[in-house]
Amino acid sequence: MTLGDCIDGGPDSRGVIDQLLTLSGRCRLIPIMGNHEQMLLAALETHSERGFWQKFGGVETLASYDGAAGPEDIPKEHLKFVRSYRPYYETDTHIFVHANYWPNMPMAELSSTVLYWEPLDVDRVGPHFSGKTVIVGHTPQPDCRMLDLGFLKCIDTDCFRGGCLTAFEVHAGRYWQANVRGKLLD
């Protein structure tokens, strides 16, 4: 499972998508849509959205595709894969979403603004009415520390700005982190 923003955050978005496609051929991968994937798809639909996307990592993403001129130059296989991302995913015990949720509402009733864009407000967030633990990204946490409120875990540990990339195994409660150079941390 990925929690979105697999593109636009570094020098090799193409390589990330290639890796995810390879992984999806070897196991059951459930990619979750993030605001950056949503911006890419919007840039494909309307020219006015292209400039917005390019301001927030689109230029770097296009460069990773050998200097593609626009989002339409990204390989069709990659675009099809990004379009397949889910807005959220639920199991019997967990909810996985890129950005946020509202404690008193079913996930299917939430807007794309909440799911992809709205940062967490720890003063407002509470347990989801379903009783499920919610796993989110999007709201960077300082010092490579996950936010753990019991009912909510935010695993965005600010890799984009020099923090860590965090992988979290929900059932065992274990996590792994790597710094921006790819070195695993203890």
Number of residues in the chain? 186
Model confidence band, residue 64 (pLDDT cutoffs 50, 70, 90): very high
Tally of domains within the chain = 2
81 and 91, same domain (yes or no): no
**pLDDT at residue 150 in the model:** 96
Report the C-alpha gap between 88 and 85 in whole angstroms: 9
Mean pLDDT in residue range 53-62: 96
108: three-class secondary structure by DSSP:
helix
Is the pLDDT assigned to residue 95 strictly greater than 90? yes
65 and 101, same domain (yes or no): no
180 and 91, same domain (yes or no): yes
**What residues pair up with 165 in beta bridges, in sequence order?**
178
Taking only the tens place, the pLDDT of each residue in 140-171 is 999 999 999 999 999 999 998 999 999 999 99
pTM of the model: 0.95
Mean pLDDT in residue range 10-19: 95
CATH code of the domain covering residue 155: 3.60.21.10
82 and 132, same domain (yes or no): no
Taking only the tens place, the pLDDT of each residue in 120-145 is 999 999 999 999 999 999 999 999 99
3 and 57, same domain (yes or no): yes
54 and 91, same domain (yes or no): no
54: three-class secondary structure by DSSP:
helix
95 and 115, same domain (yes or no): yes
Q: Which domain holds residue 103?
A: 87-186
Model confidence band, residue 36 (pLDDT cutoffs 50, 70, 90): very high
The CA-based angle 184-120-175, given to 5 degrees, is 20
Query: Mean pLDDT in the chain?
Result: 96
Report the C-alpha gap between 22 and 16 in whole angstroms: 10
Backbone φ and ψ for 104, nearest 5 degrees, come out as: -100, 10
**pLDDT at residue 181 in the model:** 86
